[in-house]
Amino acid sequence: MPRRPRVTMLRLAAEAAANSFARPAVTLGMVFAVAAMLVGSAVAEINATTTIRSYERDLIGAGYATLLVTQAGAGGTALSTRTCAQLGSIDGVRAAVAMSEPEPIHLWTAGGPGLSVRYASGDLSEFVALVESNALAGWTSAQALVDVKSGASSPGPLEYPLRLVDDGAETHDVNSLTVPLSAFGNGLSAGLVIWDARAGPASACFLFVETPRRDYVIRSVDIALPAIAGFARQWVLASADRFEAPPHRFATRPSQYYWAVASLTFIALGALHLRLRRSDHALYAIGGIKRRHIWALATLELALIILVAAMLSIATISILGSRADARGEELRVGYASLARGGIAIVGCAAILARSQANRTIDSTLEAIKDR
Amino acid sequence: MLTASGLAYRLPTGRVLFEGVTLSVELGQVIFIEGPSGTGKSTLLALLGGVLRSSVGDVTTTTVHPAPFAWVLQTLNSLNARTVLANAMLFARLDGTSTKVASGLSREMLRLVGIDALASARAGQLSGGELQRLAVVRALSCTRPVILADEPTNQLDRVNARLVMSTLVEQARDQNRSAVVVTHDRDSVPSDARILRLDESGLHAA
């Protein structure tokens, strides 16, 4: 009958746990050190992602993603709400808004403060939401969107009534909502847009373009509405292409490698820890347990520390994330860094433990004297 | 039974430490080895226990036990952060003995060598002499057929040295285990013990 293995993984795990709990200061010190490294690399990733997202939002808010198509001269085809809607079907265009020429209008009375108003059709609400996801949170039935810089804006998120008087002294009572309109360019800064679903000619078409598809959209627009026919197009943010593209900035962020730095630091820390455990492991070796069991024991001792540190790190990131109101995407980047670091550290621990087992078994006499 | 035949050991410097060592230890038999410092007594134990390999000679045991050797180390190694009882049970627990059985046997052995009151203390708090007695208890608390003890009384006063040595010999005989004990302490060795002397040419009756 085959003999039952003398040293089981369960027994080694019990020994590893007992050894770890018997040295609480060292174990907790290692746990906190590993957790600090993991949390540090994750927080750096979350911060970098938040910064890049903020940079991206600022650029988009300034018109980085907005392609303005206009018709400078008379041509065979006139720019219209229908043409603009067709441009909206180009792959990479998330929203298309056709607008009329700006017109002067007065607040409250014919002698009231003057404003610039444009009538818009198309994907107006989608466009505004793409620029600022929370901008339309309070929208129920507003017909007018007022720029935050306008004198007619409201500090609150709710809709409010506005009375507008045009040059013909005709009064228009509209329900309004204050949103940022800077992505539409200077023409709408401090102005307002009134929703108008009627089809007809348009003076400009605003396209919200996905960053990776910028070149493709420009080529497509050039083909659909060529310059020779009197059409012109430009990014609303002047010299937009000279800004570092957010995806490129995200791809080259240094914090994505911090998990590797944390792993290298762990190698030094883990090696020092195992060096202090050498005589204990030698006692196990002299007690007759094999090389692979020493390896397993040393790995389990480190794995226990890493496991607790990882749990502590996850809890810390979750708490920090909820307190800082971090978005899911940013937290995911942080957790990805934590996972990479955790896996790498476990790998390092296994390699270090293997080295410890080899040294202990190959030089047992030296190891037992190493007290 | 432990048998060694024609064992020799050459130091890395090229000097022959000893050669032609032949030894046979029956179950229940205790053999003492003495000799001046530097003659290779500890090295011989390491060869017998398989910690060192010799290119000349053979060591065989008749047991099927996967870890046949219970060591009493001269260096007084212990798991300093663990309790005395946990240290005493270590070899037995590694052999798969249940905690209850190992604990009972270890407590009895601790009592025999006079440190049972320290069972719950951390091993790191013990004195050298107490650690030495703990090392003996660890070897006696398991069922491994061969005890290899390297100067098990060199940190002890005369009274405790005699107590520990007599406990070691009696328990080895009672448990029907072989024991090879290296010692400089002739006073502690029982009068009826078999004593061998190691020199460059091998083991000789002392």
Residue of chain B whose Cα is closest to the Cα of A365: B51
Average pLDDT over residues A243-256: 89
Range of the domain at A348: 9-57+249-369
**What is the C-alpha to C-alpha distance for residues B141 and A9, in angstroms, rounded to an integer?**
22
Is A288 within 8 Å of B67 when comparing Cβ atoms? yes
Residue of chain A whose Cα is closest to the Cα of B64: A3
Shared-domain flag, residues A206 and A315: no
pTM score: 0.81
Q: How confident is the model at residue A73 (pLDDT cuts 50, 70, 90)?
A: low
Shared-domain flag, residues A124 and A174: yes
Q: How confident is the model at residue A246 (pLDDT cuts 50, 70, 90)?
A: confident
Find the CB nearest B75 among A284, A289, A368: A368
Q: How confident is the model at residue A241 (pLDDT cuts 50, 70, 90)?
A: confident
For residue A135, is it within any domain? yes
Contacts B71 to A, Cβ<8 Å: 286-287
pLDDT digits (tens, 9 = 90+) for B31-43: 999 999 989 999 9
Contacts B78 to A, Cβ<8 Å: 283
Shared-domain flag, residues A168 and A272: no
Q: How confident is the model at residue A360 (pLDDT cuts 50, 70, 90)?
A: very high
Contacts A370 to B, Cβ<8 Å: none
Residue at which a domain ends, from A207, A242, A277: A242
Question: Which tokens in the block code for residue A88?
Answer: 């909206």
Shared-domain flag, residues A210 and A254: no
B196 has a pLDDT exceeding 60: yes
Shared-domain flag, residues A119 and A260: no
A4 has a pLDDT exceeding 50: no
For residue A4, is it within any domain? no
**What is the C-alpha to C-alpha distance for residues A36 and B167, in angstroms, rounded to an integer?**
52
Shared-domain flag, residues A82 and A51: no
Q: Exposed/middle/buried for B52, CB within 10 Å: 0-12, 13-18, 19+?
A: middle
Q: Which of B58, B5, B32, B22 is nearest to B149 (CA)?
A: B32
Is A288 within 8 Å of B75 when comparing Cβ atoms? no
pLDDT digits (tens, 9 = 90+) for A333-356: 999 999 999 999 999 999 999 999
For residue A224, is it within any domain? yes
Shared-domain flag, residues A216 and A196: yes
For residue A3, is it within any domain? no
Residue at which a domain ends, from A225, A242, A259: A242
A3 has a pLDDT exceeding 50: no
Residue at which a domain ends, from A190, A214, A242: A242
Predicted pLDDT at A1: 37
Predicted pLDDT at A139: 79
**What is the C-alpha to C-alpha distance for residues A326 and A318, in angstroms, rounded to an integer?**
10
Q: How confident is the model at residue B135 (pLDDT cuts 50, 70, 90)?
A: very high
For residue A318, is it within any domain? yes
When the pLDDT of each residue in chain A is averaged and rounded to a whole number, the result is 90
Is A284 within 8 Å of B71 when comparing Cβ atoms? no
Residues 6+ apart with CB under 8 A from A324: none
For residue A1, is it within any domain? no
Shared-domain flag, residues A134 and A280: no
Q: Which of B135, B53, B23 is nearest to B88 (CA)?
A: B135
Is B75 within 8 Å of A371 when comparing Cβ atoms? yes
Q: How confident is the model at residue B47 (pLDDT cuts 50, 70, 90)?
A: very high
Give the ipTM: 0.93
Average pLDDT over residues A65-85: 83
Predicted pLDDT at A76: 57
Give A107's strand partners. Answer: A164
Contacts A366 to B, Cβ<8 Å: none
For chain B, the DSSP string reads -EEEEEEEEE-TTS-EEEEEEEEEE-TT-EEEEE--TTSSHHHHHHHHTTSS--SEEEEEE----SS-EEEE-TT----TTSBHHHHHTHHHHHTT--HHHHHHHHHHHHHHTT-GGGTTSBGGGS-HHHHHHHHHHHHHTS--SEEEEESTTTTS-HHHHHHHHHHHHHHHHHTT-EEEEE-S-GGGS-TT-EEEEEETTEEEE-
